Amino acid sequence: MVELKAQSPFADLLPLKIGSMTVEERDLGQLTVMGGFSSAAVLSETLKASHGVTLPKPLQSIQKDNTRCLWFGRNEVLLVGPAPDQTLANHAALVDVSDGWAAAELQGPGAEDVLARLVPVDLRNATFKPGQTLRSQLREMPASITRTETGFLLMVYRSMAATLVQELRRAMEAVASRR
């Protein structure tokens, strides 16, 4: 009988270091989309009581300890880290999407330049501060991009993990060659 083993979406592709930039896989824990909520205020109060974070405003994320809550689209947020408290189900639809996403963090001088080659949005620190998040295209891939204190958290569909690494490698090599 064949025994299946869980594998990282990035398998042997990460970590990646080119010049002074690095890309490392991030294990974010459970990922739960909360959507279809009728009252943001009530959901925010319940989220605060159960996980210590509130509902983020559009294009924002909130983090406390190992729990992060990301704006994920109109009337959708992503709870990152712990399993959701079941009281949240009284106020929103909860969908576990943990196996569907791959997460990596791009860090180092030049990270903004790398993403400038791949993303049609201005991610410079002057306009995209730590804690801000958005959904955009990263080349041809739909992605969630969040600026952290140390770099950029990049999330793509699990099936696109190898393509993400390939695109990042190409852009990192181009940026490193200019330094």
Spell out the alpha helix ranges (H) of 12-121: 40-51, 111-116
From the list 143, 162, 139, 140, the residue with the least C-alpha distance to 153 is 143
pTM: 0.95
Spans of all domains in the chain: 16-27+99-177, 30-98
- Indicate the CATH number for domain 30-98: 3.30.70
Domain over 16-27+99-177 is classified CATH 3.40.50.11930: no
Q: How many angstroms separate the CA atoms of 27 and 105, rounded?
A: 10
| pLDDT tens, the chain, 179 aa long | 889 888 899 989 999 999 999 999 999 999 999 999 989 999 999 999 999 999 999 999 999 999 999 999 999 999 999 999 999 999 999 999 999 999 999 999 999 999 999 999 999 999 999 999 999 999 999 999 999 999 999 999 999 999 999 999 999 999 999 97
